[in-house]
Amino acid sequence: MLSDRALAAFRSALGADRVFDDAATRGVYACDETPRRVEPDAVLFPTSHDEVAALARIAFEHRIALTPRGAGSGNVGGALPAPGSVVVSFECMRRVLEFDPANRLIVVEAGVVTEEIDRIARSAGLFYPPDPGSGAYCRIGGNLAMNAAGPRAVKYGVTRDYVLGLRAVTGDGTEIRTGCRTTKGVTGYDLTRLLVGSGGTLALITEATLKLLPAPESVATLRVCYAGNRAALDAVSRVMQQAVVPCALEFMDHRAIDAIRPTGAADDLPPGTRALLMVEADGAAQDLPRQIAALQQALAGEGLLEMKSGFERDAIVQLWAARKSLSHAVKQIAPLKINEDVVVPVSQLADLVDFIDHTAHAQQLAVVSFGHAGNGNLHVNLMVHPDDADEMERARLVHDAILLRVLALGGTLSGEHGIGTEKRRFVAREIDPPTLGIMRAIKLQFDPHGLLNPGKLFPD
């Protein structure tokens, strides 16, 4: 437990009403979206960069580990408290510090909710492209730490592509500023790109300067049904080989379609649908018919059952209904979802999905796959009953086989969810020892006593 001296120091730096060590609060902050729980010793709610710097210096002096936290929506245990650690919640740092439409940038504190940034940008005809599915409640600090992304990544890229600069505090309480306010800049090492995706292991990010883009004028959507996975994924390859880049290219396999049937969201799919693509284009209204025609041409091929298009808001919402109902529907299959977030080169996606199908079938396991096919990013969900030891062991075999296959296909362990506690076991399979050695040395430079989010990212 925290010493009285450390607790008193935190209270004096933040105010007594921003430091909680009662059982109820520690219980609330004991987990993220993963099923494991570890109660922190206390939870701190700083309200400014200066308070974060002060608490980091106290933690350094008393050698207290810190677990940074946004909304706790991460699915890899990134915000799972390390035993004996103190959670630093950024939810009270919600100020928009500057909105500068003329220079297409916005400066926000780490606790601002992601969709809020997009909403403000749109008020001036701009937009913030990264669109994680959790955007209505996750916070930009968590997005930055995990390099979050969403369907629009296929055209617009990921969080890292929209960060001009950061303000942050390292493990010994040193305050740093990285990057600049311009879209070009090559002065010094690119610490901004290093901190983005570092999972809270290098620094506590307090403020971010984000790049915005002009908002596209219009959007059009295609819902495309196929007789099988391979037909759909071959179409994905064809789409990614031609000139029109869609702003979403999402895939659902047959188990995902089966999962939504009880909700009624699959009722208007043609009989025999075993795979689905959601494809979206954006841009000037008069250019959309040209883009959609090019995409339709690429999407047509063997196994195509139906292609429906929507240009108006209501029609678009209707077409997305099947995909949007998926998250909730999947949870009805089994009490626990082991969620993987692998990526392979787009041309290898069909092979990976075939492999997953065969392996899951051989082990009699329910595995639902869907994801951001245009990036080769597949969410593989192993649906299990945690009390069934035999099923859990089969799930472990399937899980490990899938990750090894992904690496063999030239892929990577995580596209957007990060490593956290859950995927550490496999990191050394992807990153070679000399490279991991440099990463560990960088970690020591930022965090000499290993106080920032210990037990995450690195293998033991």
Using CA atoms in the order 292, 295, 300, 306, what is the torsion angle rounded to 10 degrees?
Answer: -50
Residue 96: beta bridge partners?
Answer: 108
Residue closest to 374 by CA, chosen among 214, 230, 238: 238
Q: Residue from 110, 164, 222, 409 that binds ligand FAD (CB under 6 A)?
A: 110
- Size of residue set near ligand FAD by CB under 6 A: 37
Q: Check residue 454 for interaction with ligand FAD (CB under 6 A).
A: no
Q: Which is nearer to ligand FAD, 228 or 376 (CB)?
A: 376
Q: Which is nearer to ligand FAD, 146 or 276 (CB)?
A: 146
The Cβ-side half-sphere exposure at 455, using a 13 Å CA radius, reads 17
Q: CB under 6 A: which stretch of 1-9, 226-234, 349-357, 416-424 binds ligand FAD?
A: 416-424
Please give the structure tokens belonging to residue 357.
């199908």
Write out the DSSP string of 77-94: STTSPPTT-EEEE-TT--
Minimum distance from residue 23 beta carbon to ligand FAD (Å): 21
Residues 6+ apart with CB under 8 A from 416: 132, 146, 147, 148, 149, 150, 153, 158, 341, 377
Please give the structure tokens belonging to residue 114.
């992601």
Tell me which residue has tokens 């037990």: 455
Q: CB under 6 A: which stretch of 63-71, 228-236, 315-323, 351-359 binds ligand FAD?
A: 63-71
Q: Residue from 38, 46, 54, 68 that binds ligand FAD (CB under 6 A)?
A: 68
Using CA atoms in the order 179, 180, 186, 191, what is the torsion angle rounded to 10 degrees?
Answer: 0
Minimum distance from residue 169 beta carbon to ligand FAD (Å): 9
Minimum distance from residue 76 beta carbon to ligand FAD (Å): 8
Q: Check residue 148 for interaction with ligand FAD (CB under 6 A).
A: yes
Site string for ligand FAD, 157-196 (x = CB under 6 A): ----------------------------------------
Q: Residue from 72, 197, 228, 411 that binds ligand FAD (CB under 6 A)?
A: 72
Please give the structure tokens belonging to residue 429.
């399979």
Q: Check residue 421 for interaction with ligand FAD (CB under 6 A).
A: no
CA distances from 231 to 228, 283, 354, 370, 405 (A): 6, 28, 12, 15, 21
Q: Residue from 145, 269, 338, 384 that binds ligand FAD (CB under 6 A)?
A: 145
Q: Check residue 70 for interaction with ligand FAD (CB under 6 A).
A: yes
Minimum distance from residue 94 beta carbon to ligand FAD (Å): 12
CA distances from 93 to 317, 377, 390, 448 (A): 33, 32, 45, 26
Please give the structure tokens belonging to residue 214.
């002009």
Q: Which is nearer to ligand FAD, 142 or 310 (CB)?
A: 142
Minimum distance from residue 420 beta carbon to ligand FAD (Å): 6
421/407 Cα distance (integer angstroms): 19
Helix (H, G, I), strand (E, B) or coil at 333: coil
Q: Check residue 143 for interaction with ligand FAD (CB under 6 A).
A: yes
Q: Residue from 107, 108, 149, 349 that binds ligand FAD (CB under 6 A)?
A: 149
Helices marked H in 308-412 — which ranges?
313-324, 326-330, 349-362, 389-408
Q: Check residue 422 for interaction with ligand FAD (CB under 6 A).
A: no
Residues that bind ligand FAD (CB under 6 A): 32-33, 67-75, 78-79, 90, 110, 132-134, 138-139, 141-143, 145-146, 148-150, 199-200, 204-205, 327, 416-417, 420, 453
